[in-house]
């Protein structure tokens, strides 16, 4: 089946005798046992599993061409489950331009538990020099947040396989629609479903999808069920509802994102545009090879200093000044001031999540904000 069809049908796990066409929300936290102590409905207690979460995990598994998926209450708890499943004392290789929240998590919660090197993973030939005796995982994020760097998943996978390391990929910016890391050799793919999967800025969630069910995956499943950082049935319902339009939303984000990137690249007040779909992007060829579309994410450097960038952010009217991304409404953000004093993000960088408004209105808005 194609992505459009999977997204609409695979998540409808309907049992009811009431004739529902879409799966109802099952709020029950507990489920009947039979005389022999079994669970005829397939569920015992809703932290362990429930009908809406099972439906969500099924469709996410199929969209990323994996063997199984675990849904979590946020993207950060999805990543944390993977890091928690590693043996303490392990060394991991992570990107220098890693999602800020994960970097913070690794440097605070996993301080003294995991050893981490943050390196430039776009320089594939430099990775092997960082592999040590206790290295177990390479974590890539592509496209990366906020610099839109592209990492060659297949090339990093070859290195990981040669050294028997696990490869995980944060594929949030691409969504399951435009990039399939498991087919390129990743072992686990991670998404913040708060972003494109949810798509309407009204639900928090995260997911891990595995290529194979192995012992490590059982550890992650145990952390999900016993740790309990799970999405509610209503969250799962919202995500399933959103997934049904994912493919069509992504086509719109792709078109609008690319059009705005082209417009801004030619604007005299803009110093640089980071968008993997532009031929000027340093990893454009790799992006073309491993992605089938580019979503609505781009970052730009405004000519001048941080003040100039903040002026633009304050002057646009259709782009809401807010963090996060992937929703139907366009968002804009002065990233360095969100990340705080330790940030390496340039002060004149603004990150844009292009929504699904009409592109002419979005371009006119920038036109007036840049004059
Ligand atoms: C937002 C985001 C996360 C974290 O997800 P939350 O749902 O906010 O916890 C992780 N990675 C990337 C690339 C993100 O954009």
pLDDT in tens, 134-183: 999 999 999 999 999 999 999 999 999 999 999 999 999 999 999 999 99
CA of 157 to the centre of ligand 1 (A): 22
- The total domain count for the chain is 2
> How many C-beta neighbours within 10 Å does residue 293 have?
18
**Structural domain that includes position 235:** 3-243
Measured by CA distance, the residue closest to atom 4 of ligand 1 is: 75
Residue 103 and residue 25 share a domain: yes
308 — pLDDT class (breaks 50, 70, 90): very high
pLDDT in tens, 265-302: 999 999 999 999 999 999 999 999 999 999 999 999 99
Looking at residue 356, what is its pLDDT?
98
pLDDT in tens, 170-228: 999 999 999 999 999 999 999 999 999 999 999 999 999 999 999 999 999 999 999 99
314 — pLDDT class (breaks 50, 70, 90): very high
- Angstrom CA distances, 316 to 232, 299, 301, 328, stand at 36, 15, 16, 17
Q: Indicate the pairing of strand 166-170 with strand 206-210.
A: unpaired
Question: Would residue 195 show up in a list of annotated catalytic residues for this protein?
Answer: yes
Looking at residue 205, what is its pLDDT?
98
Residue 145 and residue 14 share a domain: yes
Looking at residue 18, what is its pLDDT?
87
* pTM of this structure: 0.97
Residue 57 and residue 158 share a domain: yes
Strand order in the sheet with 297-302: 270-274, 297-302, 349-353, 331-334, 320-321
The closest alpha carbon to 300, from 325, 337, 329, 275, belongs to 275
Question: Among the three residues 185, 214, 243, which one is the final residue of a domain in this structure?
Answer: 243
Establish whether residue 227 lines the binding site of ligand 1, counting it when its CB lies within 6 angstroms of any ligand atom. no
| Distance in angstroms (rounded) separating the CA atoms of residues 193 and 198 | 5
Looking at residue 14, what is its pLDDT?
82
| Distance in angstroms (rounded) separating the CA atoms of residues 185 and 169 | 10
Looking at residue 340, what is its pLDDT?
84
Residue 334 and residue 356 share a domain: yes
Any idea what the CATH number is for the domain that residue 283 is in? 3.90.1150.10
Residue 188 and residue 123 share a domain: yes
**Catalytic option among 47, 251, 288, 315:** 47
| Distance in angstroms (rounded) separating the CA atoms of residues 87 and 247 | 38
Residue 264 and residue 216 share a domain: no
Looking at residue 147, what is its pLDDT?
94
Q: Which residue has the tokens 């050799």?
A: 185
Question: Among the three residues 191, 214, 243, which one is the final residue of a domain in this structure?
Answer: 243
> Contact at 8 Å (CB) between 308 and 348?
yes
Query: Residue 341: pLDDT above 90?
Result: no
Establish whether residue 76 lines the binding site of ligand 1, counting it when its CB lies within 6 angstroms of any ligand atom. yes
Question: Among the three residues 185, 220, 243, which one is the final residue of a domain in this structure?
Answer: 243
Looking at residue 10, what is its pLDDT?
92
pLDDT in tens, 86-119: 999 999 999 999 999 999 999 999 999 999 999 9
| Distance in angstroms (rounded) separating the CA atoms of residues 247 and 70 | 21
User: Ligand 1: which of 73, 75, 79 to mutate, most ligand atoms within 8 Å of CB?
Assistant: 75
Establish whether residue 99 lines the binding site of ligand 1, counting it when its CB lies within 6 angstroms of any ligand atom. yes
Residue 283 and residue 171 share a domain: no
Looking at residue 102, what is its pLDDT?
97
Measured by CA distance, the residue closest to atom 8 of ligand 1 is: 75
Question: Would residue 99 show up in a list of annotated catalytic residues for this protein?
Answer: yes
344 — pLDDT class (breaks 50, 70, 90): confident
> Contact at 8 Å (CB) between 192 and 297?
no
Residue 145 and residue 80 share a domain: yes
Partnered with residue 273 across adjacent β-strands are: 300
Residue 220 and residue 175 share a domain: yes
Query: Residue 3: pLDDT above 90?
Result: yes
Residue 99 and residue 9 share a domain: yes
Looking at residue 50, what is its pLDDT?
96
Residue 251 and residue 167 share a domain: no
Looking at residue 12, what is its pLDDT?
86
| Distance in angstroms (rounded) separating the CA atoms of residues 324 and 355 | 12
Query: Residue 15: pLDDT above 80?
Result: no
User: Ligand 1: which of 83, 192, 352 to mutate, most ligand atoms within 8 Å of CB?
Assistant: 192
pLDDT in tens, 324-338: 999 999 999 998 888
Looking at residue 13, what is its pLDDT?
85
> Contact at 8 Å (CB) between 220 and 79?
no
Stretch 121-134: mean pLDDT: 97
Residue 238 and residue 265 share a domain: no
pLDDT in tens, 23-68: 999 999 999 999 999 999 999 999 999 999 999 999 999 999 999 9
Contacts 24+ apart (CB under 8 A), 38-46: 41/15, 46/233
């Amino acid at each position: 089946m194609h992505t459009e069809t999977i997204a609409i049908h695979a998540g409808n796990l309907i049992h009811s005798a009431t004739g529902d066409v879409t799966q109802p929300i099952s709020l029950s936290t507990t489920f009947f046992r039979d005389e022999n102590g079994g669970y005829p409905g397939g569920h015992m207690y809703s932290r362990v599993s429930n009908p809406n979460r099972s439906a969500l995990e099924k469709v996410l598994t199929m969209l990323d061409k994996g063997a199984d998926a675990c849904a979590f209450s946020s993207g950060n708890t999805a990543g944390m489950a993977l890091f928690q499943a590693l043996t303490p004392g392990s060394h991991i290789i992570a990107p220098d331009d890693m999602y800020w929240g994960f970097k913070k998590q690794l440097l605070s919660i996993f301080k003294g538990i995991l050893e981490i090197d943050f390196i430039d993973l776009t320089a594939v030939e430099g990775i092997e020099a960082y592999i040590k005796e206790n290295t177990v995982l390479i974590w890539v994020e592509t496209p990366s947040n906020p610099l839109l760097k592209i990492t060659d998943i297949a090339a990093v996978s070859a290195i990981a396989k040669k050294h028997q390391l696990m490869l995980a990929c944060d594929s949030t910016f691409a969504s399951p629609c435009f990039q399939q890391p498991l087919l390129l050799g990743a072992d686990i793919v991670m998404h913040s479903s708060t972003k494109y999967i949810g798509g309407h800025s009204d639900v928090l969630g995260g997911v891990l999808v595995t290529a194979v069910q192995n012992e490590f995956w059982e550890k992650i499943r145990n952390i999900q069920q016993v740790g309990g950082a799970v999405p509610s049935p209503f969250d799962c319902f919202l995500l399933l509802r959103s997934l049904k339009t994912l493919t069509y939303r992504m086509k719109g984000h792709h078109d609008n994102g690319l059009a705005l990137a082209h417009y801004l690249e030619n604007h005299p007040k803009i110093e640089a545009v980071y968008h993997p779909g532009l031929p000027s992007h340093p990893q454009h060829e790799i992006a073309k090879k491993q992605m089938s579309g580019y979503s609505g994410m781009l970052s730009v450097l405004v000519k001048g200093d941080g003040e100039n960038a903040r002026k633009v952010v304050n002057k646009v009217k259709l782009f809401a000044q807010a963090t996060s991304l992937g929703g139907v409404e366009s968002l804009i953000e002065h990233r360095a001031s969100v990340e705080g004093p330790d940030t390496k993000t340039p002060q004149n960088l603004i990150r844009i999540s292009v929504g699904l408004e009409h592109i002419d209105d979005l371009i006119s808005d920038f036109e007036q904000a840049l004059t």
